[in-house]
Chain A
């Protein structure tokens, strides 16, 4: 009896061993590159000296955190990270939905394809390239936009030395690069709406705006909420390329463009300050984790089906 029961328990392993084997490379890779670094979190609480290694370095409690949070930059960087990312979440959501609704109104298949392809074009460029292309417009002496403004108004606009311009430029660049992708997601959701709903609404005398407000938007809402939860979970992690390569790492723009990720990057590459960068990284991870659980909870309270997990 007992051997019988044992064989029964063992059977699934024998049956699935090939599937297990096929999952193994991914499991090992994720273990090494995602789980092992989690152990490295202890670095944040140590006075890290490369020669001594992570385990050999002495503990120093919360000194690394204190060092960052008491620095003059901490407040500015936190403000930039949270403020700009919140702004990006909103504008990307709005532009994605807006252009999806516009694309949905296009009736000729051929035009639709052309629009979608062209809007996807910027998505293929690297941030380095985007940063360089932007200088074509914003260069102080020869940029097209600066020249245009100079000729029209006589004012000299220095985009690369006045930080606050980038409060507008960065979201615009994000829209420019991401709308092709973002709108596609919402567009494909719109595609699955039963067309008869719109016909019925039109017969009942609904205007375009009304049918968008009462049919399309409610239909998109779950997806909007889901993507926003994910985005809020990542609010502490800025898109490094957008904040580093697009403002071209110009230090005059740091008051607006310096975010946690660029700060860590510089601390790591310029100053070699591992322990403090690790502390900032841990802070990012923990706040992100709490935020994603929190927003998910909130979404579920609002409507049970909106939750991600």
Chain B
């Protein structure tokens, strides 16, 4: 019996370790290729551990960092304004819906739920934003459409319902208004839940590419994912064809190496990786609670 159990545990851990290695491999590979000397890649292909280190790709990128920095700036703006605004709008409605004495909670819940199962589609939304709101090439077109996502409203509502109603009732007896109870009781008590939802929003805003392609044409307004997409497309075009996108031939000495492409990939995902390092603990915990309660 005992022997059987150790064997069993061994299989479980082996499977998990194998899968975890697969999860890490692409990023490790990306980082190491970005640090590999260009000539080595040409000769031996990609290597897990570079036989000759080089920071050349990074120094090359930072010689002219304006595109990258503009991308960082735009994306940071989107993430900060978007996450704070979205968190406020979403948590306020979620709080109202969590209050059992709110007269219209049934109707409002239904109003939100309908949008979960039926939508007008991409094209009417596109026309609304571009023609009627005139938000083309404005970062707000990437921020506001993500506000008040039904899934996140309902998730926060579940969390808020966990707060003992007696707590809110007694505050109200002491003369606190609904806004007051929201600000000084509900929000402070829901920090883990708010952190989880905030992380989900941040992730969405940082990685969003679909709307960015639709709504942003000006390079100065490019969020980081579009910068990554365009620079890597450019590098590949140059690598494969020897001409830049406008058809101009590029001389061999200007040809950026593979390493540069991978350095770009590392640089654009760096903030996300930091975030992952610091917050994944809360994220996993928050989602676990949410899933059990929901």
Contacts and interface: CB of A to CB of B under 8 A. Distances in A.
Question: Dominant SS at the B interface?
Answer: helix
A184 B126 contact: no
Nearest to A143: B46
B227 to A, nearest CB: 10
Interface in B1-40: 8-9, 12-13, 15-16, 19-20, 22-24, 26-27, 29-30, 33
Given A119-B20, A129-B265, A285 B272 contact: no
A154 interface: no
Contacts of B148: 25-26, 29-30
A129 B269 contact: yes
B124 A40 contact: yes
A41 B121 contact: yes
Contacts of B104: 16, 20, 23
A30 B124 contact: no
Interface in B186-241: 203, 206-207, 209-210, 213-214, 225, 228-229, 232
Contact of A30 (B24, B115, B280): B115
A285 B92 contact: no
A191 B289 CA distance: 10
Contacts of A240: 210
B99 interface: yes
Contact of B207 (A20, A32, A127): A127
A133 B276 contact: no
Range of interface residues on B (Cβ < 8 Å) = 35 or more
Interface in B76-126: 88-90, 92-93, 95-97, 99, 101-104, 108, 111-113, 115, 117-126
Nearest to A281: B121
B163 interface: no
Interface stretch (A70-78, A100-108, A163-171): A100-108
A22 B121 contact: no
B147 A29 contact: yes
A105 B115 contact: no
Contact of A25 (B93, B97, B145, B178): B93
Nearest to A103: B16
Contact of A27 (B111, B209, B262): B111
Contacts of B288: 184, 187-188, 191
B127 A125 contact: no
Interface string B123-137: 111111001000000
B23 A121 contact: yes
B250 interface: no
A129 B160 CA distance: 35
Contacts of B131: 50, 53
Given A16-B104, A142-B258, A264 B272 contact: no
Contacts of B16: 99, 102-103, 106, 115
Given A106-B12, A192-B292, A277-B123, A289 B41 contact: no
A269 B214 CA distance: 7
Given A26-B148, A128-B229, A281-B124, 19 more contacts: A16-B101, A18-B179, A30-B148, A35-B115, A37-B119, A106-B13, A116-B284, A122-B26, A124-B273, A125-B269, A128-B209, A129-B269, A132-B265, A185-B287, A188-B289, A240-B210, A268-B214, A281-B120, A289-B117
The 6 tightest CB contacts between A and B, nearest first, are A40-B124, A281-B121, A37-B120, A126-B207, A37-B124, A26-B93
17 contacts: A22-B178, A27-B93, A29-B89, A34-B119, A38-B118, A40-B121, A105-B12, A125-B207, A128-B228, A136-B33, A185-B287, A188-B291, A189-B292, A241-B210, A265-B122, A269-B214, A293-B117
Interface of A: 12-13, 15-16, 18-20, 22-23, 25-27, 29-30, 32-41, 43, 50, 53-54, 99, 102-103, 105-107, 111, 113-122, 124-130, 132-134, 136-137, 142-144, 147, 176, 179-181, 184-185, 187-189, 191-192, 208, 233, 240-241, 245, 261, 264-265, 268-269, 274, 277-278, 280-282, 284-285, 288-289, 292-293, 309
